[in-house]
Homo-oligomer: A and B are copies of this chain.
Amino acid sequence: MSEFKPGLDGVIATDTSISYLDVDNEEIVIRGYDLIELAGAKSYPEVAYLVINGELPNHKQLTNFEKILLDDSTFPNEAYEVLKLAPKKSMVMDIIRTGISFLAGFNDESDLMNTSHESNLNKGIRLIAEVAILTANSHRILNNQNIIKPDNSKSFAENFLGMILGHKISSKEAEIFDKILICYIEHEMPNSTFAARIIGSTLSDMYGAFVGGISSLKGPLHGGANEAAIHMLLDIESKGGSKIADKYIMDKLNNKERIMGFGHRVYMKKYDPRALFLRDYIAELESNIQNGKELHKIYKIVEEVMAREKGLYPNTDYPIALLFYLLGIPIPLYTPIFFASRTSGLIAHVIEQHNNNRLFRPRVLYTGPRGLKL
């Protein structure tokens, strides 16, 4: 057996043609394209189609695809009932997970367990729509707000943000939200994608892979960073704002506390290309709220201190945290929205796993006792 690498650090777990982090060239490769080029020129549904199908859609393909992403005709009312039964103190990620798990039962078993490319594609694309509905309405129901169903006259991003906020969205806001969704869509083999593929490798179904993925992404070491980052920026603001931002971070660093939104297991000491792309949108939204300019100032100081002191640069969660805040999105939805975007990547990975499957079944380094007798 091979040498033990904790966390499978540097271990190749699968082959894939979906995406690749080319750290040397600072490129996130998505089906051969540079993710940042895609984010600059394409919409979330176009990139989702590419991630899932391996090529960009033509006009007709895109129209059909967008229609499914806004279709709630198969979304059962019982799912809303389940959301309502959850305690009001529930975490949004848990309610969405319960909802996804529950929706599995609305498929016929033969189709649910069918791991063919076509069946996976049908279930998967429907799940993009369903996870967006669950995401927006989980939070709405927890907060005793009305349920909002998709409006298929809108774009995916405009509709999704509209379901979350419950009011009209400007085209600028919809555009920036769309860019954020693209940045979160797919990222090689993070823990949640790995979890989904491992589950898929037992020939378990798309829903099972999704609940595994969302359980992983809920973890503070994975999807929680965007929420932690905004809490930090708000904490700095409340304790004196941009004037004390440098000292605030220095104190944290001296206490060996981790600053969320900086550094990345794979990128190490480089700039996450997504963070570089998204940070320019902050200025466009900073007038959205009263304290927007001040938060932006704090944002830049923290970034400078981290580069100066640790040589660490923002990952994508850092600008997204502030952009979500400027958009007025409730903080408990930051990680769920990350997951909702990532559904497209998960679909692609489950399909790829099922199309060329090998059960994941590693071994262990046993460090316990031997030969004990009763």
Known A98-B104, A208-B218; 8 more pairs at CB < 8 Å: A2-B5, A3-B12, A16-B366, A78-B86, A82-B102, A87-B106, A199-B219, A202-B219
Cα A366 to Cα B29 in complex, Å, equals: 10
Cβ–Cβ < 8 Å partners of A203 in chain B: 219-221
Residues of A2-56 whose CB lies within 8 A of B: 2-20, 29, 31-33, 37-38, 41-42, 54
The residue of chain B having its C-beta at the shortest distance from the C-beta of A98 within the complex is: B101
Q: Report the Cα distance A3→B3, complex, angstroms.
A: 11
Q: Is A369 a contact of B199 with CB atoms below 8 Å?
A: no
A113 within 8 A of B: yes
Q: Is A363 an interface residue (CB 8 A)?
A: yes
Q: How far is the CA of A301 from the CA of B188 in the complex (A)?
A: 48
- Say yes or no: A222 contacts B202, CB within 8 Å: yes
Q: Which of A37, A82, A108, A198 has the most CB of B within 10 A?
A: A198
User: Which of these, B85, B112, B199, B204, contacts A82 with CB under 8 Å?
Assistant: B85
Q: Are B370 and A29 in contact (CB under 8 A)?
A: yes
**In chain B, what residue has the closest Cβ to A78?**
B85
Q: How far is the CB of A50 from chain B (nearest CB, A)?
A: 10
Give Cα A5–Cα B366 distance, bound, in whole angstroms.
20
B85, B87, B204, B361: the one contacting A189 at CB < 8 Å is B361
In contact, A265 and B368 (Cβ under 8 angstroms): no
Q: Complex: how many Å from CA A365 to CA B13? A: 8
Q: How many copies does the complex hold?
A: 2
Q: Does A139 belong to the interface (CB within 8 Å)?
A: no
Using CB atoms, name the residue of chain B closest to A366. Answer: B20
Find the B residue at minimum CB distance from A91.
B109
Cβ–Cβ < 8 Å partners of A7 in chain B: 201, 358-361
The complex places the Cα of A86 from the Cα of B87 at a distance, in Å, of: 19
CA distance A192 to B201 in the complex (A): 11
State the CA gap A95–B12 with chains docked (Å): 34
Residues of B contacting A105 in the complex (Cβ-Cβ under 8 angstroms): 86-87, 89-91, 94-95, 98
Please determine whether A368 and B17 come into contact, CB atoms closer than 8 angstroms: yes
The answer to the question of A240 belonging to the interface, with a C-beta cut-off of 8 Å to chain B, is: no
Residue contact A265 to B94, C-beta cutoff 8 Å: no
Closest partner residue, chain B, to A205 (CB atom): B218
Report the Cα distance A191→B200, complex, angstroms.
10
CA distance A16 to B365 in the complex (A): 6
Decide: A365 and B85 in contact? CB cutoff 8 A: no
Q: Per-residue CB proximity of A311-355 to B under 8 Å, as 1/0?
A: 000000000000000000000000000000000000000000000
Contact A199 B220, CB 8 Å, known A12-B365, A95-B105: no
